[in-house]
Structure 1
Amino acid sequence: MSEDDGLITAALRHAAALHEGTYRPDRARTPFVSHLSETAELVRRAGGTPAEVAAAWLHDAVEDGLTTVDELAGLFGEEVAGLVAAVSDAPEDVGRAIGERKALQAIRLAAAPDGAKRIKLAEQISILQALAVERPLSWSVERADAYVEGSRLVAAACAAASPLLAERYAAVAALAGAPA
């Protein structure tokens, strides 16, 4: 196993342990790690570096309050931790309305490195793919619509980092009900 494969495997294992027992908010109670796996695989397919793929596995851990950027830096290095920090909402933004939160993400991501943009765009694809199949049980129709609409802002801020992911986002957004 190469050093790069070891980094990705360690991130996968750590993310799976952190999110153990958590599920997507769907009727099937799909393990949350499936979202992380989809995101990481999309980043890999888009030519993401090993650090980007590792960060894709870990992208929700800080925002979900399961770890800190400093802890991730100690375990996986500054590059991985920096990518996770770049895609994580600030704690004060977590409680905001989804449209406002997405607008703030788009502004922040416009200045982020391309690796962070690839991760965030892959995350949006994973979420919209699930949303196209079933609205999360805890989401109103209005919240789902606001999420899809807000994701367009995020995708626009990230699209130049990966034409492949931008194209995939456009297709999935159409299925989820958002004009691309």
Structure 2
Amino acid sequence: MSDKDDLITAALRYAATLHEGTFRPDRARTPFVAHLSETAELVAQAGGAPAEIAAAWLHDAVEDGLTNIAELENRFGPEVANLVAAVSDAPEVVGQGIAERKAIQAARLAAAPDGAKRIKMAEQISILKALAVERPLSWSPDRAAAYIEGSRLVAAACADASPLLAERYAAAMADALR
């Protein structure tokens, strides 16, 4: 196994441990790690570097309060930690409405490195694909609509990082709007 595989595997294992027992808010109670896996796979398909793929596995861990950037830097190095930091909302942003949160994300990501943009685009695709199947049980129709609209801002800020992900985002958006 190469060092890049070791990094990705270590991130996968740590993310699975952190998110153990958590589920997507759907009727099937899909393990949350499925979202992380889909995000990481999309980043890999877009040609993401090993640090990007590792960070994709870890992208929700800080926002969800399961770890912090210092711990990620200690375990995975500064490149992975910086990518996770770039895609993570500050605690004061997490509590805001979807429209405001997405506008803040888009503004922040416009200046982010391409690796962070690929991770965020992949995350948006994964969430839109899930929304196309079923609205989260805890979300009102208005919240789902606001998420879909807000994700457009994020995608516009990130689309230049990967034509493949931009294309997949457009398809996921079309499905979510049906």
TM-score, normalising length: structure 1: 0.98
Residue 169 (structure 1) aligned with residue 164 (structure 2): no
**Partners in 1 of 2:139 and 2:48 — Cα distance?**
31
Match of 1:45 in 2: 45
**Partners in 2 of 1:105 and 1:162 — Cα distance?**
18
**Partners in 2 of 1:90 and 1:104 — Cα distance?**
10
The aligned runs of 1:143-158 (5 Å cut-off) are 143-158=143-158
The aligned runs of 1:26-41 (5 Å cut-off) are 26-41=26-41
**What is the CA-CA distance between 1:173 and the residue it aligns to?**
0.3
**Partners in 2 of 1:95 and 1:9 — Cα distance?**
32
TM-score, normalising length: structure 2: 0.99
**Partners in 2 of 1:175 and 1:129 — Cα distance?**
7
CA deviation map 1:29-83 (0-9, x unaligned): 0000000000000000000000000000000000000000000000000000000
**Partners in 1 of 2:92 and 2:150 — Cα distance?**
18
Which ranges of 4 or more aligned residues in structure 1 deviate by more than 3 Å?
none
SS where residue 62 of structure 1 aligns?
coil
Match of 1:120 in 2: 120
Match of 1:83 in 2: 83
Match of 2:99 in 1: 99
**What is the CA-CA distance between 1:177 and the residue it aligns to?**
1.0
CA RMSD of aligned residues (A): 0.7
Give ranges in structure 1 of 5+ residues lacking alignment.
none
Match of 2:64 in 1: 64
Give ranges in structure 2 of 5+ residues lacking alignment.
none
Match of 1:136 in 2: 136
**Partners in 2 of 1:169 and 1:124 — Cα distance?**
7
**Partners in 1 of 2:70 and 2:177 — Cα distance?**
38
**What is the CA-CA distance between 1:84 and the residue it aligns to?**
0.2
**What is the CA-CA distance between 1:171 and the residue it aligns to?**
0.6
**Partners in 2 of 1:35 and 1:172 — Cα distance?**
14
